[in-house]
Structures are given as structure tokens and as C-alpha cells.
A and B are shown apart, each in its own frame.
Chain A
């Protein structure tokens, strides 16, 4: 801190400096307000998500202001480059798992579009052929348990126990090696009401499973019987229940919650 005694002439110049500083201050406030209004008034539902720009297939809705979406994409790039996507999630003993995991959301579980007797998982290959896989066939593949802290994007979490086949094992067993080279996996419910897009590194992480059991018993209807995705490196929104179709692409497949403004990546 520095103190100076000034005469009238110097004082006048200090008063001018003060006036100048306040002018800059008010101009900055106005710029900040204008910028903010510009940002929040950016369209959130326009068809700004073109395939070529962001790699999205969904053209209907962005769900959030485009500049914010751009930052989220940059965030994904930054964190993808510094983090290891194959890192394992902490696992817990089975007895720590909750008896009745919370049920959150029933989009895509319309009974009219689902017949347990005829359900088969459809896998659309890059050749255009579709592979049909029954639940019994999936159950023949090596089964693993995953007991981890399930995290909902809403902010709550629960330790839950799930079993099924590693997605990477599934790909390998059905010779989906070409498909595994692509950047994204898309999954849809049989009624096509709910759908997720997942980056391949997260999809083939060792704890990502096609799950058919919860707490050692077949999946309940409201948890996505007969087959759901468990992907511990992501929030619950990516854990699609009742998978109908799986496909592969280099562009981001449509994602139900991303269209409603959520981060596409939503990885931990």
C-alpha cells in the first residue's frame, strides 16, 4: 500500500482516473449482460446438430444452447486425452448391495412392443446383416458379477449387484471385430422410445456388461428384463433397459437424454 499527498492539479487527474475506471466498469457490466442474454437466448431446440459438425445423427433437438454443447464436447476431448477409459470402477462385496435398487424411468418399457417369448437381441452388423441372439445364447457366454456404486445423473447413488456377459466378450464371441473398430455403439429399446449412444472405449471397458441378472435373480420387468446395459463408467442414463437393437457407427448415434440437453459423454 502506497500513500501520496497530492495537490489540486494531481487530485484532478486522480479524479479523472477514477471516472475512467468507473466507465470501464459499467461498460464491462453492459457487455457481460449482453453476452449472457445472447448465450441463454441461443436456440435449444433448433436442428443445429448436423451430422458433419458435431457428429450427431439426431437432428431434432440439441436440448441446450449450442455454445454450451460445444464446451461439453471440448470437455470430453480434454478428459478423454488425460484419462484412461479402461480404468476399473471400484467394486464392493455382494452383501453391500441394496436389496431393491431404485427404479428411475420407464421410457422404452412399453409392454405392447415387447413379447418375452419371441424377444431376441438384434445386432446390426456393418455389412447390413442383422444378427439375432436369444437370451439363452447370451447366458452361455462367460458370466461376470459387477457390484459397484451406481450413480444417477440426478445426484444419488446406490451400491448395486448385476451379472451378465462382458460386452467386449460378446463382441468377440460373435466375431464383431469390424464393428468394434468403429467409434460408437448405439442401443435402442424394442419400441425405439429410449436409445443411447456410447463411445467404444467405454463400451468395451472390462466392467461394461450386457446384464440379465440383478442380485443373482433374473432382471425384473422394471429393471429392463430380459437384457439391459450396465456401464459403471457412466451415469445411469446410459444404462439402457431392455435392449432391442445394437448398432455401430463412427458418428454419434442418437441419444435420448443428450437430445434433452444432457452431456453426450456423461462419463465419470
Chain B
């Protein structure tokens, strides 16, 4: 019985994807330890606090309080892993031509709504796609820009004297800190949707991120 092999993710892509996972996890965790020491952000509507970043139960659950020094130490050590891996990913994506599958094109923005409607079960047919669908192209390109944004806002608060021009671009020290935080919230939301989508997409899709290819058994048509 013949089968179809679809080569999907390159070896380098897979390695960088899986290195990024623990690297970003450690950056978010250590970032939380830092944020705790001055946890001033909240979402308010009409004077009422809707979400406080973060409630006490949350801090307790993740063992966050009183670890500012540990947070800074790990943040400024693992930033290298995150940055270098990210830099290699960007270079590789452009040098290998993978960007053609990744970057959104003209129709991506229009089509991405159809993908969302399809994923929510409202629309039956999904738009045609190559490696990534329109929504994926936008999301995976956005996450790269967010990564660059984290590095920029990160340096703006890490070295505000030496790269004062960068801090100024970010709107100042306090603004840069808030932006750095918002980007992190963005990663977490991305991660949640990403995991749900991967579970929905099934085993073959997951295998492609580890082995590089999907195996599709062809149903024999004798009629």
C-alpha cells in the first residue's frame, strides 16, 4: 500500500523551535520573578480592577515571591540563548528561502479570517494552503517581530543609560518596561492557542515538528 510523505519542517527549524521552547519558558519564568518586585500593572475598567497582574494565589502557585535576584541572574544569563537562537532562526529563514512559506502575502490578511471561522467550526471549508495557512503566516511572523520587540524593549530597560536612544524610541524607561511585559503576555496567549491548535491538528502535524515529515496513508481506490 503506497503512502505519501510530506516533507514539512527542516532540521534546523525543528532544532531552533525546540531550543526556543525552554529558552522562552525560562525567560518568562525569570521575568515573572523580576516583575513581582514592582507588580504595578492591572487592567481597570471604570475604576474597577478587572485583572491584577498578578493575584496572590498565582504568585504562590508558581513560587514567585522574593526571588528578584534569582530572576535577574537567570534572565540575564538565558537572554543569550534566546537571542542567539532567535537570530539564527531569522538568518536561516531568510537564507534558506523558508520565508516564502512564512511571511504573509497579499491575500493572507483576508484569508486569515476564513481560517479563524473554519477553526471555530463556523465555516466548513478551509482556504487552500502551502506549509502554513494564512492565520499561521500572520501569527508566526508576528511572533518573530514580537521577539525582536522583546530584545529592543529588554535592552531599553537593561541598559537605559548606554542605549538611551533605544529607551527614548520605546517612549521612556517606564513605557519600555510596560511594553516588555505586554509582549510577554502576548507570548503566553500565543502559546495557549498554539498548543490547542497543535492538539487539534493531530499526530502527523506534531510528528512533522520532530521528524520533519508527515506520513499519509493513501486509501486505495479500486472502484
Contact = CB atoms under 8 A, between A and B. Distances in A.
Interface residues of B, number: 43
Contacts of A261: 69-70, 73
A121 B69 CA distance: 31
A260 B37 contact: no
Interface in A54-79: 63-65, 67-69, 71-72, 75, 79
Interface stretch (B111-119, B135-143, B211-219): B211-219
Contacts of A155: 34-35, 37-38, 177
A28 B8 CA distance: 21
B218 A5 contact: yes
**Do most interface residues of chain A lie in helix, strand or loop, or is the interface mixed?**
mixed
Interface stretch (B87-95, B156-164, B184-192): B156-164
B2 interface: yes
A267 B76 CA distance: 13
Nearest to B22: A32
Contacts of B6: 1-3
Given A18-B215, A21-B210, A157-B174, A79 B162 contact: yes
Interface in A125-140: none
A149 interface: yes
A4 B76 contact: no
A205 B8 CA distance: 55
Contact of B161 (A36, A69, A87, A153): A87
A69 B159 contact: no
Nearest to A33: B22
Given A64-B69, A153-B68, A262-B69, A6 B5 contact: yes
A14 B4 CA distance: 11
Interface string B183-211: 00000000000000000000000010011
A8 B160 contact: no
Range for the number of chain A residues in contact with chain B: 35 or more
A89 B161 contact: yes
Nearest to B37: A154
A112 B100 CA distance: 72
Interface in B11-49: 18, 22, 34-35, 37-38, 40
A132 B133 CA distance: 74
A63 B130 CA distance: 51
A15 interface: yes
A22 B212 CA distance: 11
B82 interface: no
B159 A268 contact: yes
A186 interface: no
Interface in A75-96: 75, 79, 83-84, 87, 89-90
B69 A18 contact: no
Interface in A11-57: 11, 14-15, 17-18, 21-22, 25, 28, 32, 36
A69 B77 CA distance: 9
A72 B73 contact: yes
B74 A68 contact: yes
Contacts of A11: 2-3, 5, 215
A7 B215 CA distance: 12
Contacts of B161: 87, 89, 232-233, 267-268
Interchain residue pairs A-B with the least CB separation, the first 6: A261-B69, A155-B38, A21-B211, A268-B161, A71-B77, A154-B37
Interface of A: 1-8, 10-11, 14-15, 17-18, 21-22, 25, 28, 32, 36, 63-65, 67-69, 71-72, 75, 79, 83-84, 87, 89-90, 149, 151-157, 232-233, 257, 260-263, 267-268
13 contacts: A1-B7, A5-B2, A5-B4, A6-B4, A7-B2, A11-B2, A11-B3, A14-B213, A79-B159, A79-B162, A84-B162, A149-B173, A151-B173
